[in-house]
Amino acid sequence: MGKYKIKTLNGISKTGLDKFGQNYEVGSDIDTPDGIILRSASLHETEFPGNLHCIARAGAGVNNIPVERCSEKGIVVFNTPGANANAVKELAVAAMLLSSRKIVEGINWARSLKGDDLPKQVEKGKAQFAGPEISGKRLGVIGLGAIGVMVANAAVNLEMEVYGYDPYISVDHAWGLSRAVKKANDLRKLFKHCDYITLHIPLTDETKHMLGKEAFAEMKEGVRIINLSRGELVNDEDIIDALGAGIVSEYVTDFPNEKLINVPGVIPVPHLGASTPESEDNCAVMAVMQLKDFLENGNIRNS
């Protein structure tokens, strides 16, 4: 039996690729691969060679892969749920803190200071950049998969009052969720009461623009929104209006675009949710093991 051929598209850590071992030919210029492994690059159907059997996404979302077309052609698609959950959780906590405490504005302001009396000038910033603590505030977590559960539990430990909502999993059945997380039976309740809302759901036809005009109309004035999931979950025009009207005070998005980038109140983050060496290794190793198990043993496992 010849070697299995694996095409790498982008962003796969060496620790992961090394797991393929000697029975694999791995590279970015392979024309007739048995499998493809990729991170965020968009994969088009035209790139499917005849004998392609499987594709592994080293990450949670699969919206960069034409999954339906793959199913029709019998190509198995894997993703790596949970492998980057800790990295995203940490960024979600940072996002709540940096939007509340005006950390980015404060840093930019401090960098612009000049003169011999810097300590004196710095004192002025104290009042200018004061912001509320997150302890005791209400957080709504939308989506209780691996990432949402970790964010909810971390927020409980930070003494926030946490409400969980998931369109598919009941709060009672979200694995590993702290009992301190309260159930939001419907989104309106969560919108009405929460000071912070964080999204941890995939992008689908149902979830696209889930936060739009109607949702913002229900929200508590001054709410802070964190979106580390996918940009299209939020309607850009509607959140710009909600920011202008003061309904939303801050929007931390891991998916900045031209419309949003300079809007006051938008904190653009360059898709850093999963960008830690630990998460990149976890995702790559999991994706490689999935491909190997499938090609060598015919097993399909998404973990």
Residues engaged in binding ligand MLT (CB under 6 A): 39-40, 59-61, 84, 271, 273-274
Task: Choose between 65 and 190: whose C-beta lies nearer to ligand MLT.
Answer: 65
Residue 248 has φ and ψ, to the nearest 5°, of -100, 130
Q: Which is nearer to ligand MLT, 13 or 84 (CB)?
A: 84
Asked if 164 and 141 count as a contact pair (C-beta separation under 8 A), the reply is yes
CB of 57 to ligand MLT, least distance (A): 7
Residue 287 CB, shortest distance to ligand MLT, in Å, is 11
Question: Which residue's CB comes closest to ligand MLT?
Answer: 59
Beta carbons of 223 and 249 less than 8 angstroms apart: yes
Nearer to ligand MLT, 33 or 59 (CB): 59
CB 239, CB 216: distance < 8 Å: yes
Residue with tokens 């095409």: 7
Task: List the catalytic residues.
Answer: 230, 250, 271
Least Å from the CB of residue 276 to ligand MLT? 10
Q: Looking at beta carbons only, is 101 or 271 nearer to ligand MLT?
A: 271
Cβ 188 to ligand MLT shortest distance, Å: 28
Rg of the chain (C-alpha set): 22
